[in-house]
Amino acid sequence: MSAGKCRLCAQPLQHTFIDLGMSPLCETYLTAEQLDYAENFYPLHTYVCEHCLLVQLREYVAPKDIYHEYPYFSSYSDSWLAHAQRYCDLVLKRFMLNQQSLVMEIASNDGYLLQNFVKQQVPCLGIEPAANVAKVAVAHGVPTVVKFFGQKTAEYLVQEYGKADLLIGNNVLAHVPELRDFISGMRTLLKPSGVITMEFPHLQKLIQENQFDTIYHEHFSYLSFHVTQAAFALHGLTIFDVEQLPTHGGSLRIYAKHSDNVVLSIADSVATLCMQERECGADQLSSYLSFENQVCETKWKLLEFLIEAKRQGKTVVGYGAPGKGNTLLNYCGIRSDLLTYTVDRSPHKQGKFTPGTHIAIFAPEHIFATRPDYVLILPWNLADEISQQMAGIREWGGKFVVPIPAVRVF
């Protein structure tokens, strides 16, 4: 199969960033009855464009097939809810939002973020493609339109609701196969004086910290700052500020405006991050071609730990059933012989099995009933939060393990 063309510059793709083999959709949790049937596996082969340096995965599965009935609900992470609250407080003050403003969020999930604006009586609207998740947001008082976002949806929203003073997109920019259509839609939906804020995992952190498990079929693009700048500029949008965040193992929050908006000046943070990326080689193709060797070493170390624990008669279980965890489990070939079970706070996952590897998912209380020796934290970006919530495992000498960037026991 051809690698195809770059979704940003349309040039042919020739260079592999990393090939993680075949994997099922990372959020397709299975019932016991489904374990006896075949699963669909798709390539997790990412490429880097030698022309614009966008790292990307081909569209093996259409978004409508991924988000038709989506099991991820943002509200089950306490730290993510606190992050959303801090963001709301920040932008309300910085951009002087009030009852005459209109805030819109693309991929608004279960309303975890917009509910903060509702409490402050700032008009808002969520745009969420997963109907089951949007239903929860509406129940929480967050008006939500069930649509995939792009230029056509933007035109519809302008006609029905008007343009946005603040347009938000958290962890969505990487999830769209039609990247240019998506950015074009944001430009259409934004008021002339409006601001876009977006958060997404920073590609340079992915490389530096061996975060290969953030590669899965929902993530079509893996974004550096300079590539994102170029993509926005193609559509008459300018990034005027950027923050580096600890979320998801290292993310960027960008602030963008219409390029002809002279009121908002460009902050020093933009030039600073551009320089940082150049210093680590983000503008050189060669910097992207050695990542696969780093990842193999991380895989081997994790398997060595699990095999040795098994030989010593120790029990290792998982905490969490996130998308990234399913990439890790399938790439490393970890099944219930090495990881007895995993747990998750979301009742939408409990009682089911992980895709591909068929590891049973229980409620977190199951750990205290079985008293394992080790708990492997699959959403390693939430390790601090989870180790505090589950600190009781230390009563019987239990320890936590994180797999990324390398195995660490604590």
The predicted-structure confidence for 38-76, as pLDDT tens digits, reads as follows 999 999 999 999 999 999 999 888 776 666 555 556 556
Evaluate if residue 400 carries a pLDDT over 80: yes
pLDDT in tens, 182-230: 999 999 999 999 999 999 999 999 999 999 999 999 899 999 999 999 9
| Residue (of 7, 3, 34) closest to 19 by Cα position | 3
Helix (H, G, I), strand (E, B), or coil: what is residue 396? Answer: helix
Q: Looking at residue 71, what is its pLDDT?
A: 53
**pLDDT on residue 68:** 56
Mean pLDDT of 337-348: 95
Domain residue spans of the chain: 74-271, 302-409
The secondary structure of 29-60 as a DSSP string is PBPGGGGGS----EEEEEEE-TTT--EEE--S
Q: In sequence order, what DSSP letters do the residues of 14-26 get, joined into one string?
A: -EEEEEEEEE--T
**Mean pLDDT for all residues in the chain:** 94
DSSP state of 148: -
Per-residue confidence (pLDDT) for residue 247, from 0 to 100: 87
Mean pLDDT score, 355-367: 98
- Quick one: average pLDDT of 142-171? 97
Question: 277-329 pLDDT, tens per residue?
Answer: 999 999 999 999 999 989 999 999 999 999 999 999 999 999 999 999 999 99
Pick one of 3.40.50.10680, 3.40.50.720, 3.10.20.340, 2.60.120.200 as the CATH number of 302-409. Answer: 3.40.50.720
Q: Flag whether the pTM goes above 0.95.
A: no
Confidence at residue 307, expressed as pLDDT on a 0 to 100 scale: 98
Check: CB of residue 47 under 8 Å from CB of residue 13. Answer: yes
**Alpha-helix residue ranges (DSSP H) falling in 70-130:** 78-94, 114-119
What does the pLDDT average to over 116-121?
95
Q: What is the pLDDT of residues 21-32, one digit of tens each?
A: 999 999 899 999
Domain 74-271 has CATH 1.10.3720.10: no
The whole-angstrom separation of Cα 252 and Cα 232 is 15
Backbone angles phi, psi at 377, to 5 degrees: -85, 105
| DSSP secondary structure letters along 364-392 | THHHHHH--SEEEESSGGGHHHHHHHTGG
Q: Could you tell me whether strands 164-170 and 144-145 are parallel, antiparallel, or unpaired per DSSP bridges?
A: unpaired
Hey, do 74-271 and 302-409 end up sharing a CATH topology, with the first three levels equal?
yes
